[in-house]
């Protein structure tokens, strides 16, 4: 598995590239706009050119910003409009994959239906592939179980363009004991059976500051949280996942990015060759 980080773009894509190279990233995840604002974004020519340099160095995956709630996209048009705008931003610079949270809603069935229709519209308007991210189970969040994710995927007309981004901390908080290989095999088996063998497309590699089943989303540093190292050692060395990528979304604290990458690299089997970071 190729490993990287979610990285900021506020100082420009050239700075993003420099930071990615400093950390030894093999993949980068980014927001394509201010994730805490509804304000729309327009790429400048300079940004397009700088993004091309970043994309030439490593795969780049977008993450939908924080505000759009796809589970309520049928109730508030702003949610769908913002999602489609970010999909268009990806299209304009050539980003091929976007990770999305499904959002939250009291009525889960209506929420799943709204997410399905929003994703279907984004797929119809752009060449993106959409990666549905599992939730930690907080509140009325959609996607806390493999079943809910699979129900969305199976309802979309272009299943080959819809997959899953599995977040280790979210799975753990939702009650999946990701420290056990058997749990990963069960998750993979269910998703493959219901949504196809290539349905798992990306990973968020985060330890958890909270206990299993807490339904509280608190990412923590690799090996320093409640999950520990066993889970990550399995994921980065599992042959069936070797063609995939995973990014860390651990808290930005001093030199902890460097430490987290060092720890993750140390888990790789000696048979796996990696560039020095």
Q: Which domains does the chain have, with CATH numbers?
A: 32-46+64-255 (3.20.20.150)
Q: Phi and psi (nearest 5°) for 246?
A: -145, 140
Identify whether the C-beta of residue 203 lies closer than 8 Å to the C-beta of residue 188: no
Average pLDDT, the chain: 95
**pTM of the prediction?**
0.95
In this structure, the dihedral spanned by the alpha carbons of residues 34, 39, 41 and 47, taken in order and rounded to 10 degrees, is -40
Considering only 9-23, 77-91, 257-271, which range has the smallest mean pLDDT? 257-271
Helices marked H in 24-131: 45-57, 77-93, 108-125
pLDDT tens digits for range 219-237? 999 999 999 999 999 999 9
pLDDT tens digits for range 7-50? 999 999 999 999 999 999 999 999 999 999 999 999 999 999 99
pLDDT surpasses 60 at 96: yes
pLDDT tens digits for range 103-161? 999 999 999 999 999 999 999 999 999 999 999 999 999 999 999 999 999 999 887 89
* Beta-carbon count within 10 A of 38 CB: 14
């Amino acid at each position: 598995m190729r490993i990287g980080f979610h990285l900021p773009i506020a100082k420009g894509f050239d700075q993003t590239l420099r930071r990615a190279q400093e950390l030894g990233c093999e993949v980068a995840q980014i927001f394509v706009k201010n994730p805490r604002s509804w304000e729309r974004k327009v790429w400048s020519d300079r940004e397009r050119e700088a993004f091309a340099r970043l994309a030439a160095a490593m795969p780049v995956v977008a993450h939908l910003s924080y505000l759009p709630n796809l589970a309520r996209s049928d109730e508030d048009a702003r949610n769908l409009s913002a999602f489609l705008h970010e999909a268009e931003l990806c299209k304009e610079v050539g980003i091929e994959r976007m990770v999305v949270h499904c959002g939250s809603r009291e009525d889960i069935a209506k929420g799943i239906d709204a997410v399905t229709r929003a994703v279907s519209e984004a797929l119809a308007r752009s060449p993106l592939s959409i990666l549905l991210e599992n939730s930690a189970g907080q509140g009325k969040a959609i996607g806390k179980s493999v079943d809910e994710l699979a129900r969305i995927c199976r309802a979309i007309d272009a299943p080959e363009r819809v997959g899953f981004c599995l977040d280790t901390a979210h799975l753990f908080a939702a009650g999946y004991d990701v420290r056990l290989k058997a749990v990963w095999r069960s998750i993979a088996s269910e998703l493959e059976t219901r949504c196809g063998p290539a349905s798992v497309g990306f990973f968020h590699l985060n330890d958890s500051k909270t206990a299993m089943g807490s339904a509280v989303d608190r990412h923590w540093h690799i090996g320093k949280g409640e999950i520990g190292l066993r889970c990550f050692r399995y994921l980065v060395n599992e042959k069936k996942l070797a063609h995939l990528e995973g990014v860390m979304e651990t808290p930005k604290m001093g030199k902890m990015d460097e430490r987290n990458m060092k720890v993750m690299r140390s888990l790789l089997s000696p048979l796996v060759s990696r560039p020095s970071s």
